[in-house]
Amino acid sequence: MSMSRIKLTNNLEFSRIVHGIMRLISWNMSSQDVLRLTEQVIDLGVTTFDHADIYGNYSCEALFGDALKLKPGIRKEMEIVTKCGINLISDKFPDRKLKYYDYGSGYIVSSVNNALKNLGTDYIDVLLLHRPSPFFDPEEVAKAFSILKKDGKVLHFGVSNFNPMQFDMLNSYLEQKLVTNQVEISPYCLEHFENGNIDFFLKERIKPMAWSPMAGGRLMNPHEEKGQRIALALKEVAAELNVNQVDKVIYGWLLKHPASIMPVVGSGRIERIQFAVEAMNLDMSLEQWYKIYNASTGKELP
């Protein structure tokens, strides 16, 4: 099966399915194991890899970088996304007493320099600001982005978890416009259908990335009524589509939407990533899509 590609700008494309690296450390893999998995993922057509500085207590980027060093040419076959801005309380930073956000230009530039060193690469395809911040100076961000672009260290910029006003506000300060917004979207989490973000993506032709498309286990192992409602609808649609894996239906629900949602699949098991890729072949009807949507809201459409 050939992987469809999403065009974000004239010179940037992502694979429709993105591989998420947040839990890399918990997969207990050697750098050789990580390289093998990465090669398998690329063979499926998944070429976009999603990182953040804080993942794995600031250690996932470096492990991924160690894997890439084992096969230097593989970097040219992928797009690397990473994020910055969140300062965690961590043994790596013993003087830090509080979790807080930092979007000062110096901090953003130093975060990228760390990421380049950890990943063993000389450029990041897309840098995302990890979360919106109540203390946010867009001129500082614009200054950092300008330096990083000029130095060739970051090719494109985006955000994560921003609402339409926050996205628009930052964009108004930038020479090079934001290319994506990574937000939580799943049959369980309809927040961005309700806050205007999905409409905003369509209006501005922004292709969003969806983190936690499986809702962190709340769909596969539901413990409360909402999750159980959705799980039942997913099973019904799976049976109608003659599909054995419910996660294929979840990915199919996201992929059907005209906003060109790119699910971030955060699994270390190649078969799970394969399910997401195979979901691109599902022919889900509009009625089936709404059966899942209505199960999430708990009511029929008005």
DSSP symbols for 210-230: EE-TTGGGTTTS--SHHHHHH
The pLDDT value recorded for residue 1 is: 58
The pLDDT value recorded for residue 214 is: 96
In our burial notation (b when 16+ CB lie closer than 10 A, e otherwise), range 265-274 reads: bbbbeeeebb
- 142-149: long-range pairs with CB below 8 Å, 24+: 142/173, 142/174, 142/175, 143/105, 144/103, 144/104, 144/105, 144/106, 144/108, 144/109, 145/108, 145/174, 145/175, 145/176, 146/175, 147/105, 147/109, 148/108, 148/109, 148/112, 149/175, 149/176
Annotated active-site residue in 55, 103, 188, 251: 55
DSSP three-state, residue 232:
helix
Residue 94 CB partners (closer than 8 Å, separation 6+):
none
103 carries an active-site annotation: no
Residue 155 CB partners (closer than 8 Å, separation 6+):
12, 123, 124, 125, 126, 149
The pLDDT value recorded for residue 2 is: 72
pLDDT by residue, tens only, the chain of 302 residues: 578 999 999 999 999 999 999 999 999 999 999 999 999 999 999 999 999 999 999 999 999 999 999 999 999 999 999 999 999 999 999 999 999 999 999 999 999 999 999 999 999 999 999 999 999 999 999 999 999 999 999 999 999 999 999 999 999 999 999 999 999 999 999 999 999 999 999 999 999 999 999 999 899 899 999 999 999 999 999 999 999 999 999 999 999 999 999 999 999 999 999 999 999 999 999 999 999 999 999 999 99
